[in-house]
C-alpha cells in the first residue's frame, strides 16, 4: 500500500507538518510512504525577495512530485499554505496539470486528504481544505478528514490549528510560529487515519 504526501511549503511550516503526516502514515502496517514537493513556479529572485531562500534550501532534498506519483499511490495527502482562503498557486498549477488523469479516471477510488497552514488563527484554513476537496471530488477520490477521535482539536487551553476537515498550523503574521506539538499530533493522527482507511479499501 502506497501513501503519498504531496505538499508545497514556502517557509517550512507545511514541510514540518508533512513530516508528521508521513510519520503517522508509516505507523500502519504495510504502508510505504513517499513525501514529495509540488514544482515551484516562482523565479529564484522572487523567492529571495520574499525571504524564503534559506527555507527553500532546507527543503531541496525532498523530491519534486510528478502526476505519475499520484497514479502510483493508493492514498494522497496534500499539504498547502492558505492563500486568501484557497490553496497556493503552486499547488493549483500542479493539480491543473492532472487533466489526463481525470480523463482516464486514474484517481477514482483513491483516498484524498488535505492539511494546511495560515498566518492567522482565522486565516481561511477551513475554506482552503473544503475548496481543495472540490478538485478531489472531481477526480473521484474518497475524502478523509481529521475525526473528532483526535481529541486535540477540542482543546481550549491553547491556540491551535485542526478541524474535522484536516490538520492545520498557525504560522504567525511573520512566520515566527512553528507547528505546536498538538498540531503535529493532529498531522500524525491524520496520516495514520488515512493509511488505515486506504488499507481497508485495498482489502
Q: Do residues 179 and 13 make contact, with C-beta atoms less than 8 angstroms apart? A: yes
Asked whether residue 3 is marked as a ligand-binding residue, the answer is no
Beta pairing partners, 163:
166
Asked whether residue 82 is marked as a ligand-binding residue, the answer is yes
Beta pairing partners, 116:
80, 168
Asked whether residue 11 is marked as a ligand-binding residue, the answer is yes
Element counts in the chain: helices (H) and strands (E)? 8, 7
Asked whether residue 66 is marked as a ligand-binding residue, the answer is no
Asked whether residue 37 is marked as a ligand-binding residue, the answer is no
Cell matching residue 188? 500524525
CB atoms within 10 A of CB 70: 22
Asked whether residue 9 is marked as a ligand-binding residue, the answer is yes
Residue by residue, DSSP assigns 97-109 as T-HHHHHHTTTTT
Binding site, by residue number, is: 9-14, 82-84, 102, 138
Binding site for NAD(+), by residue number, is: 11
Binding site for substrate, by residue number, is: 102
Binding site for FMN, by residue number, is: 9-14, 82-84, 138
Amino acid at each position: 500500500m502506497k501513501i503519498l504526501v504531496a505538499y508545497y511549503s514556502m517557509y517550512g511550516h507545511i514541510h514540518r507538518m508533512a513530516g508528521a503526516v508521513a510519520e503517522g502514515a508509516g505507523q500502519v502496517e504495510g504502508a510505504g510512504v513517499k513525501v514529495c514537493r509540488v514544482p515551484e513556479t516562482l523565479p529564484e529572485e522572487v523567492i529571495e525577495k520574499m525571504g524564503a531562500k534559506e527555507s527553500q534550501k532546507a527543503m531541496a532534498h525532498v523530491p519534486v512530485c510528478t502526476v505519475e506519483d499520484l497514479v502510483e499511490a493508493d492514498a494522497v495527502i496534500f499539504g498547502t499554505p492558505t492563500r486568501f482562503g484557497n490553496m497556493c498557486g503552486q499547488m493549483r498549477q500542479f493539480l491543473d496539470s492532472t487533466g489526463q488523469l481525470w480523463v482516464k479516471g486514474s484517481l477514482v477510488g483513491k483516498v484524498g486528504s488535505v492539511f494546511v497552514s495560515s498566518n492567522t488563527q482565522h486565516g481561511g484554513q477551513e475554506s482552503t481544505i473544503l475548496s481543495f476537496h472540490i478538485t478531489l471530488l472531481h477526480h473521484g477520490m474518497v475524502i478523509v478528514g481529521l475525526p473528532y477521535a483526535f481529541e486535540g482539536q477540542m482543546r481550549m487551553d491553547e491556540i491551535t490549528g485542526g478541524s474535522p476537515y484536516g490538520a492545520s498550523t498557525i504560522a504567525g503574521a511573520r512566520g515566527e510560529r512553528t507547528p505546536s506539538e498538538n498540531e503535529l499530533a493532529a498531522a500524525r493522527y491524520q496520516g495514520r487515519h488515512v493509511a488505515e482507511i486506504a488499507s481497508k479499501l485495498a482489502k
